[in-house]
Amino acid sequence: MADAFEHEEESVAGLRASMASGGLTSRALTESYLARIEAIDPHLHSVLEVNPDALQMADEMDESRRAGIDRGRLHGIPVLLKDNIDTADRMRTTAGSLALGEVTPTRDAFLVERLRGAGAVILGKTNLSEWANFRSERSTSGWSARGGQCRNPFAPERSPCGSSSGSGVAVSANLCAVAIGTETDGSIICPSSINGVVGIKPTLGLVSRSGVVPVAHSQDTAGPMARTVPDAAALLSVLAGIDERDPATSDARVEPDYQALVDPDGLRGARIGAARNLAGFNDRVDRLFDEALDAMRALGAEIVDPADVPHTDELDDPEYEVLLYEFKTDIHAYLATLGSSQSPRTLADLIAFNREHAAEEMPFFGQEIFEKSVEKGPLTEPAYLQALATCRRLARGEGLDAALAEHRLDAIVAPSNQPAWLIDHANGDHYVGGESTPAAIAGYPNLTVPMGFAFDVPIGISFMGKPWTEGTLVRLASAFEHATRLRRSPPASARG
């Protein structure tokens, strides 16, 4: 167990300023995070592997700085990546599965190209709920065959949520400056909020998915996870961009600088809707939500309460149908890019691998989602097309769009999560409440920021808005964060 960490809670801006002044080098910073991972992470299981080239990358960033070359807004900053994001280096990309353990991608994901271009030091790969939590209906979030059980840094017996578990835990425990997660439904928002950090689930198409192990193209996205809204906004400014390999990005409306939209007075005059139908699952969480709404009123916001999102209880079944269909198609397309004779080629190959390695891959839960997905046909089938149309109608036009328009809202807010539940390998996750589904299905932006603590574990509040309004959400959430300052580091006692 490490003692006080010299860069505890330090921001990206603060680290960059220290490096610019000569008081800190990227090598020294990277060494500090690597030592922190070695000391702390054996208790948390959030980092699957560190990059063997991290220190070399840091040295290159220091040389560039000495030469007067600024590589970008992440120059010399160590970043961790979820282990479903391709890196063409000496690390692996496995989605937490042993089935991809011998395969190395031949090309960086587009977002990794963006990170390298901005001067980031790729520090390593984080643990995740295996296959982004899309293998079993009785899975345990944060568990993968490759990495074991990731643990919540505030209460190690409790869930870190998923699927971007390792990224959320690593950021919260100060094992990196910032990290990247991915989401299909809740996989950025839940592990961010439940580990007490900020997460941004962008509009579908703002961040490229090329080189990211997929679940479903109609909902998948990558996004930033950080300790503060300004850090998340800085990272989003790097990640966002048009990529010819991902057609969803072709119409992206990208702000040139999301961090410039951070505003301590950003809630003044805003109209915020309280989605009470996405709350009500826990009395203590509801009290925190009421306090958050009061804080926003005090900051000059007009609160419309309630401003419920219609049809949220009708989304689960059509969403699941869509995901089952798209996963089969999308995973086949991804596997075809690996180009290795050792790589599985189909979903049926993955199912067979898991059966052959059941002791390692399925000690706690099975693969019934895989087995349901493999039976699905092509994306031209009426069952898929009808489910997709239903999802879009209920989540967009008759859902978030209707609520935002009816009340003339800048954003809708709701509690992000329940208190972290006990890890239970026998029964799987005990999920009772959260708000991620409408924005995830609609493909709309969602930003979670710490809202307080219930039973000594973090609770977040989510800001949801229209497509391409990440800048608005950054402005609103940054004002709330600046006034409340509810983020705190995990206690050393809980980290081991």
Q: Catalytic site residues? A: 82, 163, 187
Asked if residues 90 and 54 have their Cβ atoms less than 8 Å apart, the reply is no
Place of tokens 């989401």: 183
Backbone dihedral angles phi then psi of residue 431, each to the nearest 5 degrees: -95, 125
**How many residues are listed for the chain in this entry?**
496
Using CA atoms, how far residue 469 sits from 83, 229, 300, in Å, is 28, 15, 20
Asked if residues 100 and 203 have their Cβ atoms less than 8 Å apart, the reply is no
User: Who's near 349: CB < 8 A, 6+ residues apart?
Assistant: 99, 335
Measured from the Cβ of residue 238, the count of other Cβ atoms closer than 10 Å reads: 25
Please report the DSSP string for 269-293 in residue order.
Answer: T-EEEE-GGG--S-HHHHHHHHHHH
Q: Is 101 exposed, middle or buried (0-12, 13-18, 19+ CB in 10 A)?
A: exposed
Kindly report whether the peptide bond that precedes residue 153 is cis, defined as omega within 30 degrees of 0.
no
Asked if residues 432 and 422 have their Cβ atoms less than 8 Å apart, the reply is no
Give me the amino acid identity at 399.
Answer: G
Give me the amino acid identity at 41.
Answer: D
> How far does Cα 496 stand from its chain's mean position?
24
Distance in angstroms (rounded) separating the CA atoms of residues 312 and 278: 8
